Structure 1
Amino acid sequence: VNVDKPDSNKELAVIKIDEEIINIDSMQLGRCAGMIYSFLLKQDDPIGKRSFNKRQIAAATGYSIRSSGFSNAISSLVSKGLVKRKGDKIEIALVDRKFAKYLEHDFSIRGWLNNLGKCPREIYEFLLEHPNETFTKEQIADNTPSQYSVTSSGFTNALSALNSTGLITKEGSEIRLNPELLELNQ
């Protein structure tokens, strides 16, 4: 990616991607794309590029990996030359803080606690305390402060919501914190 910054002879900042000139001064990002870009920029390591898979990005930014809006946001960032794909990983391609409007957002795995309702928060907190262990639904229910009933729809729905956002994983009857989240800056 080539970046030309404005000088006295030029009016626009442009990038050239696959022989296509893109005016970065006129680029706009929606909220989802902005969150993704901000997350990747905030995680970027000055020594080397850090890359993340879609599930990690979705979990950190609060979007469902299955949503078309999330997929479209990543495609938009790639087509604009702001991020690039390396196999199943995604990383920053162009550093420009004007697109990073959500740098103050807490993208850590603990940052999710503020966005969760009571039951999912208690489950998630318990799993955060035991990040490398697996548990049955019964063990989790018994170890939450509210000691939820394993058969209650609220408890089942909380597990389902945590799983669909990528915060937990299920392997048969075993449930654990998504190990991919442990790679995120905390």
Structure 2
Amino acid sequence: MQFPIRYQAALALAEHASLLKNRQWPSPFFPVHHHAEQMAAEAMRLQMDSSAVMAAILHDLVLMTPMTLDEIERIAGHETADLIQSMTPDTRVLGNPDQFDVIDYTAHIARCNATIQTLVLMDWVQTASFVGTTSPTQALAFQLHLQSVAQALPEVPSPLRERATLIGNWLERRLYEKKVAQYNFAP
């Protein structure tokens, strides 16, 4: 997909900042730049406004790099920074993902507007797809999180909610396939 120049600049920033990645969650190999491209493409397909597309591109920089919301606000504007702040979990838990409370986070997002709900579910779908492909052992946790987030966000467009269900089902199968592979049925 060809991105407009303003989004290309944000993608370049995401790529550069991802080189400074200081958090390893959800995976040390999480491709921040590729994820940013996928998020931007999805936001554009859903015809979200430019602030939402910019938030889709830049949201992980606050979580995974030394960049701050103030820096993002100077670069992308106040509305984009507000969207990112609303969709960003408490960064203190990211050093220890076991402290992340998906129920509290989902309740927070459910109180937000449709744009934030859509951005968050897009993020979960993209992240779950990556984790399911690279780490089947984490697939069950992401499958459960994805399903609870999708069910709790009433203002998300139905095609995105349907995709979340499909990804959740796929993650569940990935875990089952891993368990079956443990048994050697060769004669």
Shared fold by TM > 0.5? no
Q: Which has the higher strand share?
A: 1
TM-score (norm 1): 0.30
Q: Which has the higher helix share?
A: 2
TM-score (norm 2): 0.30
Determine which structure has greater relative contact order: mean sequence separation of CA pairs < 8 Å that are 6+ residues apart, divided by chain length.
Answer: 1
Q: Which has the larger radius of gyration?
A: 1
